Amino acid sequence: MGSFTGFLYRQFTFKPKPLPTTVNLKGKTALVTGASGGLGLEACLELAAHGVSRIILGVRDPSKSDAAKPIQAKNPNVDVQVWQIEQESFASIKEFADRAAGLDRLDIVILNAGVKNVEYVKSSKGGHELNVQVNHLGTALLSLLLLGPLRRTGDATGTPARLTIVSSENHFWVKLKVIKGPDTLARMDDKETFGKDMDRYNLTKLLNVLWMRELSTRASRNVVINAVNPGFCRSGLHRSHSSGASFANMVGWTATQGGHALTDAATQHPQDHGAYISEQTLFSPSSFVLSKEGHSAQVKIWNETIELLTQEAPSSDLLSNL
């Protein structure tokens, strides 16, 4: 994994499969971010088809989301709730997580919200480079804040709850100069470190894997945490990248197939804590991730992220759920 030839081979020879018919999610509550369309919505549709009792859709603008209708068409008995979350805004993430903390149970979380910007833009709400703000910082904060309700559900049911972070095979294709240097997150706000085309997006997908691995070593063992590569799919992720959209139209999997990859990671592989899941099976992440340098970067990114979030998104719950 990691070569372009290998990527193309897998795109053409492997297609994600739906969950086995034996999967029964009755009584469970699932939460999916980035759920207004694309892979997130497709994952919700599949979870509903397998009997999930309640599903929470995290979307930027609930007034523009019609996602509840097709989900209820799959399962008329499912309680579909559409909650607002702005992944750029720490305040919005905190409000969303506070609401989730009031649930009686939370069994499955899929953190799917993300962006792919190929031009340098600073977030108007968070102040950091947009890919970093949404893909890493927003995801990291929400993962920390949702551990509490996930852990309580795992304790109450005797079955580990599930937290899946959506990453990408692109984490193999990273120029490592920025991440190997000091003050990585601060430097990623500098335009000169942005790189070309998908360099920054790729780097944030590496941050997802590093964050997931460190979080999994620190979090309660009754929450299974993993990262998933959903494959290269035709979706709205490419809306700001015309060449990426054109390439996806040629070789991409469907959003439904990408949704299968998400639900597989979030409901199967019960023993694969801290794992990187790709093609619906356990895969080794990049050689950098597995190296001593990669482990040092993993700890450094954790420390820098916690320091940044403590300063910019203060919350008494930030580390208490670990």
Angstrom distance (rounded) from CA 92 to CA 107: 22
Which of 201, 235, 276, 300 is flagged as catalytic?
A: 201
Nearest to 300 by CA among 195, 143, 176: 176
Residue in the block written with tokens 């930027």: 60
201 is catalytic: yes
122 is catalytic: no
Identity of residue 98: D
Which of 89, 143, 168, 278 is flagged as catalytic?
A: 168
Q: How many CA atoms lie within 13 A of 118 on its CB side?
A: 12
65 is catalytic: no
Identity of residue 37: G
Which of 94, 205, 278, 300 is flagged as catalytic?
A: 205
Catalytically active residues are 168, 201, 205
